[in-house]
Amino acid sequence: MAFSTISILGVGLLGGSIGLAAKAAGINCRIKGYGHRASTVQRALEIGAIDEGTSDPKDAVRSADLVVLCTPVGVFPGLLQELGESLSPGAVVTDVGSTKRSVVRLAEAGLPKLTHFVGSHPMAGSERRGVEYARADLFQNAMCILTPTERTHAASLQAVGEFWQQLGMRLTTLDPDTHDRLLADVSHLPHAVAAALVWMQEETALGLTGKGFLDTTRVAGGDGGLWRDIFLDNRDHVLASIGRLKQTLTHLEGLMERQDGQTLAQWLDAAAARREDLVRRKVQELES
Amino acid sequence: MAFSTISILGVGLLGGSIGLAAKAAGINCRIKGYGHRASTVQRALEIGAIDEGTSDPKDAVRSADLVVLCTPVGVFPGLLQELGESLSPGAVVTDVGSTKRSVVRLAEAGLPKLTHFVGSHPMAGSERRGVEYARADLFQNAMCILTPTERTHAASLQAVGEFWQQLGMRLTTLDPDTHDRLLADVSHLPHAVAAALVWMQEETALGLTGKGFLDTTRVAGGDGGLWRDIFLDNRDHVLASIGRLKQTLTHLEGLMERQDGQTLAQWLDAAAARREDLVRRKVQELES
């Protein structure tokens, strides 16, 4: 299954990069883009990320055989409701959302019977936002998580996977709930912690920070609205992740209170070794 | 006051770099180095970080007019006790420890009357350890915190400050307790959190980590023994810092539980803006 008309809903950093990467990969298709702001659509046209632009999402999906939702997660419900009757029969719909349970549930319940939804989470991007940061190589070597359910159309799942692979991505598959639980641990929690570490500092303390503090808190630099959507949409798992971090810190507090230096050093060394091992694996992935 | 014989106790990353930086700055002095291991002393001699090496700290401080304690913080008490009678009258003693209350208290109580202690915390280094990573430019543009008390000898304070400035450092002054409290917030807590974030992950989750997770946890890569010393020595302040982080996370949990999207987005945006502002100031510091 090859797509001949791709509709990108939301031509920001991710949407714009999908257009650029599809062109760079030589995918022979027409790319239609929807943007909330006319200036964004204009900019996406100028950099060649899309062939046609519109500020009406219904226009953007008409005659498309692949529709990619690239707006913030909080906009998905309204968008899915609005699109329904404009989608072509047989159209495949996917998304780039950082949370998967809600969009999969909404799409499977709300989209027309003859369309096929496949949840995707291409793990690329940056704390920057906007089509001006779009790059054709944004997805190269990054991982895309597909989140099929028992209702997912097999041929559509395969076609969406091949599309991400054409953009340079490696694929993995998780069910939507496992995805949301694990991403709460490795992505949403680090963001929450980084923001909290910035928040709690006295002004004088900030003057003493070095490169370590800036690295630890880098992910706190993202857009508040985008992350609000993620935190609220995935709040049960994020709350559980925060709870587990607090428990881990309570364990550390106990070691310090009991002045158990031997266990404390082992605990710290084990964390360092586990991270070293992770870095080694990531380097191998990039080299393979 | 210019120093003619400098004794570096502990010729690892920091001690070795002090030797290299003093030579590079053209300071006209003889540098004696003590190392626990003969191989480390040999390596420090080979790279020209020291002019003379010994595995006996008493030897290393004889006739020195500046002594710099560069061992892990946990070794300071034994070292200070051992050195006492070998120090020259008038010798200035300083250190590079990441915590300051205990070393200042021990040195002021235990060193001979005719010697002068000045607490220093040159904020340079890396998660790497060992003289093989020593660099002449390690201190360039970094900050050194001096921690004088009412008992500190004014001329010695000034001489130690000038020494760090000659190595390229900017100076600031804090009392030992304020130092330990603020460093718990901006340095020791981030290390504890980074280690906890690594510890709590399931193996499957680690496979999904990206650059953000590696940045957030980079500081967890340090040596467990060194950090054990810091956590135990500064445990009251580190425990307070962990407590304040937990409170901040509890506030965030409340926003999520109440689904207060507006306050949540503001809270996240404020953290992002505060960090942006910090990055701007750090860039200005480096350019000035």
Q: What is the residue whose two structure tokens read 């006790």?
A: B81
- State the pLDDT confidence band at B126, using cuts at 50, 70 and 90: low
The predicted pLDDT at position A127 comes to 65
The predicted pLDDT at position B40 comes to 95
Q: Which of B2, B25, B47, B24 is nearest to B33 (CA)?
A: B47
Question: Do the Cβ atoms of B133 and B13 come closer than 8 Å?
Answer: yes
Q: Is B273 a residue whose pLDDT tops 80?
A: yes
SS3 B108: helix
Select from B275, B277, B278, B285 the residue whose CB has the most chain A CBs within 10 Å, as the one to mutate to test that interface.
B275
| CB pair distance less than 8 Å for B231 and A183 | no
* Residue B183 contacts A where some CB pair is shorter than 8 Å: yes
* Residue B220 contacts A where some CB pair is shorter than 8 Å: yes
| CB pair distance less than 8 Å for A231 and B278 | no
Tokens of B285: 């510091």
| CB pair distance less than 8 Å for A264 and B190 | no
Q: Which of A199, A238, A269 sits opposite B248 (nearest CB)?
A: A199
- State the pLDDT confidence band at A288, using cuts at 50, 70 and 90: low
The predicted pLDDT at position A164 comes to 98
User: pTM of the prediction?
Assistant: 0.92
Cα A33 to Cα A9, A39, A48, A75, B48: the distances in Å are 6, 12, 11, 16, 63
3-state secondary structure chain A: CCCCEEEEECCCHHHHHHHHHHHHCCCCCEEEEECCCHHHHHHHHHCCCCCEEECCHHHHHCCCCEEEECCCHHHHHHHHHHHHHHCCCCCEEEECCCCCHHHHHHHHHHCCCCCEEECEEECCCCCCCCHHHCCCCCCCCCEEEECCCCCCCHHHHHHHHHHHHHCCCEEEECCHHHHHHHHHHHHHHHHHHHHHHHHCCCHHHHCCCCHHHHHHCHHHHCCHHHHHHHHHHCHHHHHHHHHHHHHHHHHHHHHHHCCCHHHHHHHHHHHHHHHHHHHHHHHHHHHC
DSSP assigned state of B4: S
- Average pLDDT, stretch B108-113? 92
Question: Do the Cβ atoms of A234 and A257 come closer than 8 Å?
Answer: no
pLDDT in tens, A260-284: 999 999 999 999 999 999 999 988 8
3-state helix, strand, coil in chain B (%, to 5): 55, 10, 30
| CB pair distance less than 8 Å for A253 and B242 | yes
SS3 B33: strand
- State the pLDDT confidence band at A126, using cuts at 50, 70 and 90: low
What is the ipTM score, two decimals? 0.91
Q: Is B284 a residue whose pLDDT tops 90?
A: no
Rg (CA), chain A: 21
Q: Is A1 a residue whose pLDDT tops 80?
A: no
B10: region left, alpha or beta (phi > 0 left; psi from -120 to 50 alpha): left
Q: Is B189 a residue whose pLDDT tops 90?
A: yes
Amino acid (one-letter) located at B175: D
CA distance A256 to chain B (A): 6
Q: Which of A149-158, B84-93, B123-132 has the lowest mean pLDDT?
A: B123-132
CA A21, CA B240: separation in Å to the nearest integer? Answer: 49
pLDDT in tens, B140-165: 999 999 999 999 999 999 999 999 99
* Residue A154 contacts B where some CB pair is shorter than 8 Å: no
CA B79, CA B75: separation in Å to the nearest integer? Answer: 6
The predicted pLDDT at position A210 comes to 85
Q: Which residues contact B266 (CB under 8 A, 6 or more apart)?
A: A224
Question: Do the Cβ atoms of A218 and A193 come closer than 8 Å?
Answer: no
Burial environment of residue B140 by CB neighbours within 10 A (0 to 12, 13 to 18, 19 or more): middle
- Average pLDDT, stretch A129-157? 95
| CB pair distance less than 8 Å for B257 and A268 | no
Please list every residue in chain B whose beta carbon sits closer than 8 Å to the beta carbon of residue A254: none
Tokens of B140: 């360039």
* Residue B280 contacts A where some CB pair is shorter than 8 Å: no
Please list every residue in chain A whose beta carbon sits closer than 8 Å to the beta carbon of residue B269: 223-225
